[in-house]
Structure 1
Amino acid sequence: MSPAIIRQYRPEDRAALSEICMLTGDNGGDARGVYRDQELLPDLFAAPYATLEPDLAFVLDDGGRAVGYVLGTSDTERFVRDFRAKWLPVVAERHPLPGGEPGTPDAVMTAFLHQPEMMLNPALADYPAHLHIDLLPGYQGHGHGRALLTTLFAALNKAGAEKVHLVMSTANTNARAFYDRIGFHEIAVPDPGPLTFLGRSTA
């Protein structure tokens, strides 16, 4: 097998991105048994970035297919506008907004899908870029995550974004340890709930 390489996302990677997103979508574990809608998480956390910001979408290729990815935007405010204007009309019918108070994992994420403005938080104003990174379990712990982030940081910096943030589940302690090693620090956000907000420079 050829050594894994990092390359730009290509449209034919779309199915692999969805699979990776679901296999790591439950605090780093398999989310296929958590969500009934198997396209919901990919349509929220993977596909819109690859579609709207392909220049900032990179995959880890094992020689046959994508086995990891890092995706991002250099400008969260612009991304939210594009998400509402260009992406939500494409997927809204596939993921209809649930009625009443969200009571299931699917309902919670569908409500988030229909309210992309929730990505905007005044506490994150100094960190205009944001990212998502996921690797299949067999490719974790080998330096691939660091390499993917280094690639994205360079692209973000070139795009004029000097700082980047990410949002993670506080329960995902393995991911937090990884981000700490990469140089992320916690950002104080009022009422964060079950989430942790981390940031760092792209330099």
Structure 2
Amino acid sequence: MTAVLRPFHPADLPAMYRLCLLTGEAGGDATSLYRNPDLLAHLYCGPYPISDPGLTFVVVDEHGLVGYIVATADTTAFDRWLAEHWWPTLRAQYPLETVGQDPGDGTQDHVLVRRMHEWPVEDELPVFATHPAHMHIDLLPRAQGQGWGRRMVEALSEALRARGVHGLHLGVDDRNSGAIAFYEKVGFRTHTAHDWGRTLTLDL
């Protein structure tokens, strides 16, 4: 079986969670950073296909899922959905008073739990007016350099254009130079620099 790109199916979610962890440290394996392997994906993967499965696409080969792209068409509406439907259950499951405290062993679970509890409800940022959609994309090393990243971005872009969305943005860690090079190759441009990295935009 050669690798294929296809729409998301609910059965993909466990493998997407694993992949999110395996690429979660500036593109590298973040397994050693977290006691709970699900936390990273609870923030940056899981809510997207649950809230809007039509904007998630996956790449699978004979060994399983090797890549995914998740997105929302409207960042402001997505933040409202998170506040109403996603965070309440997770905040109850991961209390700030216990799991949100630093155990002092180098793990970062507490950082994500605090982020979960203190997730900012963004005001309407200037980038939202022109590029309201945002995305996350992850691809295992064995599937990189074969054009799958570009194909996933193209599939997502087509789905967004079909909804009348004219712009897409994302955030990227400056340490992840490979990702930045990829995004620039497929047409993204730097919109804003931050202390943690940069916001890139793509006109659709």
TM-score by length of 2: 0.89
Residue 72 of structure 1 deviates from its aligned partner by 0.0
CA deviation string 1:88-108 (max 9, x = no partner): 123222332358x98663233
Q: Against the structure 1 CA distance between its residues 127 and 98, is the aligned structure 2 distance closer, same or farther, given a 3 Å change threshold? A: farther
Unmatched segments (≥5 aa) in structure 1: none
Q: Verify the 8 A CA contact 1:74 1:161 in the aligned structure 2.
A: yes
Structure-1 residue corresponding to 2:163: 159
Q: Please tell me whether the aligned partners of residues 76 and 124 of structure 2 are also in contact (alpha carbons under 8 angstroms).
A: no
Distance 1:39 1:61 in 2: 21
Root mean square deviation of aligned Cα = 2.0
1:162 maps to amino acid: H
Q: % of aligned pairs identical?
A: 35
The answer to whether the 8 Å contact 1:123/1:188 transfers is no
Displacement after TM superposition at 1:14 (Å)? 1.1
More displaced, 113-122 or 131-140? Answer: 113-122
Partners of 1:174 and 1:102 lie apart in 2 by: 33
Instruction: Output aligned runs, 1:73-152, within 5 Å.
Output: 73-97=72-96, 105-117=108-120, 122-125=125-128, 126-152=130-156
Deviation at 1:22, TM superposition (A): 0.3
AA matched with 1:143: G
| Stretch of structure 1 that moved more, 134-143 or 64-73 | 64-73
Mapped partners of 1:162, 1:53: distance in 2: 18
| Residue 194 of structure 1: how far off its partner (Å) | 1.5
Q: Is the contact made by 1:98 and 1:111 (CA closer than 8 Å) also made in structure 2?
A: no
Task: Give me the whole-angstrom Cα distance separating, in 1, the residues matched to 2:123 and 2:3.
Answer: 35
- What CA deviation, in whole Å up to 9, does each residue of 1:22-74 have, x standing for no partner? 00000000000012221111111111001011010110011453211000000
Runs of 4 or more above 4 Å deviation:
101-104, 118-121
Q: CA separation of 1:186/1:102 partners in 2, compared to 1, >3 Å: closer, same or farther? A: farther
Which residue identity lines up with residue 80 of structure 1 in the other structure?
Answer: D
Counterparts of 2:95 and 2:168, CA distance in 1: 31
For residues 71-96 of structure 1, the C-alpha deviation after alignment (integer angstroms, 9 at most, x for no partner) is 00000011000011011123222332
Unmatched segments (≥5 aa) in structure 2: none
Q: Distance in 1 between matches of 2:122 and 2:148?
A: 27
Distance verdict in 2 for CA 1:13–1:122, change over 3 Å: same
Aligned length: 198
- d(CA) in 1 for partners of 2:81, 2:53: 13
Give the Cα separation in 2 of the matches to 1:121 and 1:105. Answer: 30
